[in-house]
């Protein structure tokens, strides 16, 4: 008998759970178990309740009123990374993301938290909802950290243990910080195509990516220009909404989505190009999110779905366009990490490897368990420290096996997580770069 079957079955409280989820989505799962070997949390714990089919069983039992939504049950659901690896493994096409996401939104909105958990949750909510989604606020907040890094104060405080006096969430934020050099200047509102114009695109810049990885935006823009694209960078855009949505704030996430649709579609474009896997996945899910947050707004659903149809990951877009072959050699040994929201949520695997394979001199070596989550998962590495670290160490052990000089990652969160874990094992010398950074160099623009 499975561990799930042994959970106490009792009548639920008088709250109705899961009513926003079409019930037939639960029924798509036939409990075959093929998802378990792909699930990072199940690989680590071996607990059936921490597997996708286990969580579907739990959610359905709660929705049916056969099981109360206790702290124990919610803990198994909270531990899910929402990496969607189970969707790649599932032969029945179960839409796991469309189950766990709305269910957890309900949990976060309706379940009270107590004591230390409530205090930690308050700090996390303040940071996740009021700082991270706003690029300008985050840039200002990073100024003291940048100055402390430049003056060596951060290393000093670390060595004498002062940082250990900070709340856990702030300690983890400090640990995840990359080297903060002076940020590049803001991208102009329009960049012309080089040579014959082949397409016009809007570049999505987002929040954390623009505050910490603006150099990747510049590299992306240059690669697009080199491939004959006119690049529009509208100022009327903001966070994709994923941070709010995945933390139970559906309404503000939808408001952000509406503003992004208006700003990014202000001019006719062939595509909205994204270079962060998590953001791209969220933008492509705008139609689904609108249905879940505002089920009666049919016209809005159609508008959001039409926008989502324009969204392309940069690797996907270049592969569809037909990339110009770069000519500059980059003689390094590298390995490629599959970001969950690129390979599982968007099913983009071959395109980044094809683009990297065009670079003269680049040796790309395979990474064991490349599609297993690194533990970043958006804000997961702040909210679920233990599991995030376990998965991060697992990822780094596989990276070190490759003897690569560079790790290639197409997601900002993965980059921060892998950098931090490499630093933890004394291998900060291994760079973590975006595919577009290498391509820009190969086009002579790095």
User: Which of 6-15, 203-212, 235-244, 358-367 is the least confident region?
Assistant: 6-15
**Closest by CA position to 94, among listed 60, 48, 135:** 60
Q: Bigger pLDDT: 108 or 311?
A: 311
List Cβ neighbours of 63 (8 Å cut-off, separation of 6 or more).
17, 18, 19, 21, 23, 26
Helices 97-110 + 286-293 axis angle, to 10: 40
Banded pLDDT at 179 (limits 50, 70, 90):
confident
- The full set of domains in the chain, from first to last, is 24-110 (1.10.1060.10), 127-176 (no CATH), 190-320 (3.40.50), 326-442 (3.40.50.11810)
The predicted pLDDT at position 132 comes to 74
The predicted pLDDT at position 281 comes to 95
User: Which of 164-178, 332-346, 347-361, 395-409 is the least confident region?
Assistant: 164-178
Instruction: Say whether 432 sits in a helix, a strand or coil.
Output: strand
17's tokens = 């759970």
CA 235 to chain centre: 22
The predicted pLDDT at position 254 comes to 94
CA distance 188 to 191: 7
The predicted pLDDT at position 145 comes to 73
Give pLDDT tens digits for 268-314. 999 999 999 999 999 999 999 998 888 888 999 999 999 999 999 99
The predicted pLDDT at position 12 comes to 38
Helices 314-321 + 350-357 axis angle, to 10: 70
The predicted pLDDT at position 125 comes to 66
The predicted pLDDT at position 156 comes to 67
**Closest by CA position to 420, among listed 398, 383, 373, 388:** 388
Mean pLDDT of 259-263: 95
Give pLDDT tens digits for 36-90. 999 999 999 999 999 999 999 999 999 999 999 988 998 999 899 999 999 999 9
CA distance 135 to 152: 25
Give pLDDT tens digits for 25-38. 999 999 998 999 99
List Cβ neighbours of 305 (8 Å cut-off, separation of 6 or more).
286, 287, 290
Mean pLDDT of 149-154: 69
User: Which of 127-136, 242-251, 354-363, 421-430 is the least confident region?
Assistant: 127-136
Round to the nearest angstrom and report the end-to-end CA distance of the chain: 57
Give pLDDT tens digits for 1-19. 334 434 333 333 446 888 7
CA distance 11 to 185: 59
CA distance 323 to 325: 6
335: Cα within 13 Å, side-chain hemisphere: 21
240's tokens = 């994709």
């Amino acid at each position: 008998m499975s561990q799930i079957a042994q959970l106490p079955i009792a009548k639920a409280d008088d709250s109705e759970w899961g009513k926003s989820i079409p019930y037939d989505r639960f029924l798509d799962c036939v409990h075959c178990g093929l998802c378990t070997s792909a699930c990072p949390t199940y690989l680590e714990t071996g607990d059936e309740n921490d597997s996708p089919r286990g969580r579907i069983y739990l959610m359905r039992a709660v929705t049916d009123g056969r099981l109360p939504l206790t702290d124990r049950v919610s803990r198994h659901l909270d531990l899910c990374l929402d990496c969607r690896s189970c969707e790649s493994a599932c032969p029945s096409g179960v839409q796991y993301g469309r189950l766990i996401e709305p269910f957890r939104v309900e949990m976060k909105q309706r379940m009270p938290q107590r004591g230390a958990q409530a205090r930690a949750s308050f700090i996390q909510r303040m940071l996740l909802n009021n700082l991270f989604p706003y690029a300008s606020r985050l840039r200002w907040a990073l100024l003291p950290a940048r100055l402390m890094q430049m003056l060596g104060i951060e290393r000093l405080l670390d060595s004498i243990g002062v940082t250990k006096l900070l709340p856990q969430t702030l300690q983890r934020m400090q640990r995840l910080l990359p080297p903060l050099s002076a940020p590049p200047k803001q991208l102009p509102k329009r960049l012309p195509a080089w040579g014959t114009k082949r397409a016009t695109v809007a570049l999505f810049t987002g929040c954390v990516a623009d505050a910490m990885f603006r150099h990747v935006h510049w590299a992306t823009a240059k690669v697009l220009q080199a491939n004959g694209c006119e690049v529009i960078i509208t100022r009327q855009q903001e966070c994709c909404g994923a941070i709010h949505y995945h933390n139970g704030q559906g309404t503000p996430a939808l408001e952000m989505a509406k503003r992004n649709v208006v700003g990014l579609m202000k001019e006719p474009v062939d595509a909205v190009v994204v270079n962060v896997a998590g953001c791209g996945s969220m933008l492509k899910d705008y139609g689904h999110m609108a249905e879940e947050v505002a089920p009666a707004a049919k016209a809005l659903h159609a508008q959001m779905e039409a926008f989502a149809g324009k969204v392309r990951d940069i690797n996907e877009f270049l592969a569809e366009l037909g990339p110009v072959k770069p000519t500059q050699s980059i003689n390094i040994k590298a390995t490629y990490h599959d970001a969950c929201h690129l390979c599982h949520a968007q099913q983009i695997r071959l395109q980044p490897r094809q683009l990297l394979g065009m670079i003269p001199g680049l040796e790309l070596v395979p990474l064991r368990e490349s599609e297993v989550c690194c533990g970043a998962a958006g804000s997961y590495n702040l909210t679920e420290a233990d599991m995030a670290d376990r998965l991060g160490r697992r990822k780094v052990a596989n990276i070190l096996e490759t003897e690569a000089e560079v790790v290639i990652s197409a997601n900002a969160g993965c980059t921060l997580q892998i950098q931090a874990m490499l630093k933890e094992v004394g291998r900060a010398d291994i760079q973590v770069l975006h595919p577009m950074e290498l391509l820009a160099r190969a086009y002579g623009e790095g």
